[in-house]
Structure 1
């Protein structure tokens, strides 16, 4: 029994070493030059930088959803909308309106499907105001939030963080303000959260 247990432990550490050898700076992820402070130091923060209009973010969404549903208690998962183009701004503002109203998780998949499956334009305040009505938000309330100081303040904070991360595209996953994972570094969307899980464990060991 002791020999069997020892063999199991040895096998476990050999497997762990093999996994650890798979990813390194430049292979799976890139290390952010200057770490960005996280909101809760007691947890490992994972942040997805995204844009509703991005087809790659859309294809990653089911993977993100499945992964986020099983997020461990010591992991703090967040979304961060990027504005890398003029028509990205409306979507970023829509995210913060939905977040402030507590309905972003309910409408997230619907927004992606409306844009990428139904091919409907949600790039304007008017189009988004009509869309939010489906979720019980009056057009007046939507416009009030859309143009509010709270939304604009969060946009500025998000822009500053994304610049600090050194992110230049979406989707991108940032682990604990220290590591950036993209489809390119991870060799495809399917591998992104494998690298993220590796980095979470790396941070736990610290």
Structure 2
């Protein structure tokens, strides 16, 4: 499985950009639709929003503070989730770390710290392929982590089963091959790369804001249909 950075967009993608508007996004321009929508577990007017990311992805790192503010602002409008792309396949140690912390109920609490720590390792070794030992070192350095409980969860049947299923979920169900990518309500797919193609925005922070404008507009669209 090959993962692309958000700035790389297929040259064959044909979009109409003359009237591109993040606040009024158009299918095929600022977002696409999954051919087979995926079920979302929400109640009432809440809308599921999933960020597909990787700890070593520098754009995920840069997006995080903007995304965190946006999630807080949306509040009860959304149910926010994350899925880590298995960069190295079904035994990807980054995804393994995320699933372990998720099972412990601590993935969100440590998200920013891990992005910082992994980013430091990537810059130092000049490689995006991290080892299990490097990721375990990151985990053991997190405040409040009990090593015994962590390793029990890391080796648990539930975590290992989910890790093995992850490549199929990402590539077959959601058709995701780049990070960061956001999926709204199990069907609307948005990435900064596609928004950049539609709006021609090159400033990174402005692009992130525009991307979340598109996400917000689609959240509102789903709510209106409920």
TM-score norm. by structure 1 comes to 0.80
* C-alpha distance in structure 2 between counterparts of 1:185 and 1:30, whole Å: 9
Contact 2:23 2:214 in 1 (8 A): no
Alpha carbons of structure 1 residues 23 and 76: separation in structure 2 relative to 1, 3 Å: same
* C-alpha distance in structure 1 between counterparts of 2:154 and 2:110, whole Å: 16
Cα-to-partner distance string for 1:33-78 (whole Å, 9 max, x where unaligned): 1110112253210000000011111111111111112223131110
The answer for the alignment partner of 2:204 in structure 1 is: none
The answer for the alignment partner of 2:208 in structure 1 is: 189
1:133-172 alignment runs, 5 A limit: 133-134=140-141, 135-163=143-171, 164-172=173-181
Contact 2:29 2:194 in 1 (8 A): yes
* C-alpha distance in structure 1 between counterparts of 2:124 and 2:113, whole Å: 11
Cα-to-partner distance string for 1:107-147 (whole Å, 9 max, x where unaligned): 21111111224646792333333333333334343332222
> Greater CA deviation, 146-155 or 193-202?
146-155
Secondary structure at 2:218's aligned position in 1?
Answer: helix
More RCO (CA 8 Å, sep 6+): 2
Contact 2:97 2:139 in 1 (8 A): no
Structure showing the higher helix proportion among its residues: 1
Q: Which runs of 5+ in 1 are unaligned?
A: 1-17
Cα-to-partner distance string for 1:85-123 (whole Å, 9 max, x where unaligned): 359811111111112222222221111111224646792
Contact 1:130 1:139 in 2 (8 A): no
Query: Which one has the largest radius of gyration?
Result: 1
The answer for the alignment partner of 1:33 in structure 2 is: 35
Contact 2:52 2:82 in 1 (8 A): yes
Q: How many residues align?
A: 189
* C-alpha distance in structure 2 between counterparts of 1:182 and 1:31, whole Å: 12
Contact 1:84 1:169 in 2 (8 A): no
Secondary structure at 1:109's aligned position in 2?
Answer: helix
